[in-house]
Amino acid sequence: MTRTNNPLSERITKHYPTFTKSNRCLADYLQAHPDKVLILSTNEIAEACSVSKTTVSRFIRSLGYEDHAELRTELLKARDQGEPLLMDALEGSGLQEEMRSLEQLWAQLNEMDLKPLINRIANAKRIKIIGYRNSYPLAMHFRQQLMQCRGGVDLLPLPGQTIGEDLASIEEDDFIIVIGIRRRVTNFSKIIDLLSEHNCLLISDQSGQKYAQKVSHFLVCYMSNQVSLDSYAVPMSLISYLSNQTYQFLNSEAVKVSGKISASYSRLDELE
């Protein structure tokens, strides 16, 4: 499971499946801006999230804190002990928001033991990567990157096809990667439920934390809510990281695979 870069975020991830819509709005805001707990009052947080002050207070108590003051004290203590806490210096432009999100991603990765996940990506009999809508090009890119390291990497579903028969064909030695960023298809929860009996990695934005307990591996890409159209810099960075870690893990075997692909490109004269 995912460890996050501050105690507030850890509690939010744990309780996310039980949150109401307004609580998820608060959770997303505070995970993206943990510094706001230090500099804003309960009422100001409520205004920023368009909820009531009472809703903020109840949300804080639902996480196990007595009140806003106790939460603030915990975050101050974590910062004093060296925990990274993003501050308002990053507030402003779209580029700065992306820097904030990327810092959160790398803080998450640095606190995790990713060896079991990389081992499964490298050594599974087959890799099945699932992505719909805007997650489809992410899944397609992930497949292309992993194919430079190893064989047996499939993209699901095929264009124009449903996914039931593909899910039914999954074997015990397969590893499933599901990418679900934002506006997921209506049967997404059913797909996750079906995959819960298999080794599975879910890559999602903060709204996907409600599925974190149902999968063997979960990585969250914190997406900014400050602009109308999403940037996918964070999940693309994560895909690059996981692919390179897999390549390094496989070492000489990956070199052989990528060498064969390069030779094939050359013989077919496919690339400039």
pLDDT (tens digit, 9 = 90+) per residue, 131-186?
998 899 999 999 999 999 999 999 998 877 788 888 888 898 999 999 999 888 88
Q: Which tokens hold the place of 69?
A: 């003051």
Q: Token digits for 172? A: 């015990």
> Is the pLDDT at 6 greater than 50, yes or no?
yes
Mean pLDDT of the chain: 84
Paired residues of 131 in beta bridges: 179
Identify the band that residue 7 occupies on the pLDDT scale cut at 50, 70 and 90.
confident
Most confident of 27-31, 77-81, 108-112, 118-122: 118-122
Summarize the confidence of residues 121-125 as an average pLDDT. 94
On the 0-12 / 13-18 / 19+ scale of CB atoms within 10 A, 166 is: middle
Domain made up of 115-268: CATH architecture: 3-Layer(aba) Sandwich (3.40)
pLDDT for residue 2: 40
Of 91-95, 159-163, 240-244, minimum mean pLDDT range: 91-95
pLDDT > 90: percent of the chain = 33
Given a cut of 80, whether residue 64 has pLDDT beyond it is yes
pLDDT score of 136: 92
| Torsion of the alpha carbons at 115, 117, 122 and 123, rounded to the nearest 10 | 100
The rounded distance, in Å, linking the Cα atoms of 126 and 98 is 33
DSSP strand E in 142-198: where?
153-156, 175-180
pLDDT at position 44: 87
At 179, give phi and psi (nearest 5°).
-115, 120
d(CA 205, CA 137) in angstroms, rounded, equals 16
Would you identify the CATH topology of the domain 7-91? Answer: Arc Repressor Mutant, subunit A (1.10.10)
**Looking at residues 189-214, what average pLDDT do you find?**
91
Average the pLDDT over 111-128 and give the result: 93
pLDDT of residue 94: 61
Query: Between 259 and 179, whose confidence is greater?
Result: 179
Q: Where do you find CATH 3.40.50.10490 in the chain?
A: 115-268
**CA 16 to chain centroid:** 14
Residue 60 pLDDT > 80:
yes
**Bigger pLDDT: 123 or 226?**
123
Domain with CATH 1.10.10.10 in the chain: 7-91
Q: What is the pLDDT of residue 262?
A: 82
Confidence of residue 191 (pLDDT cuts 50, 70, 90): very high
> Which amino acid does the sequence have at 68?
H
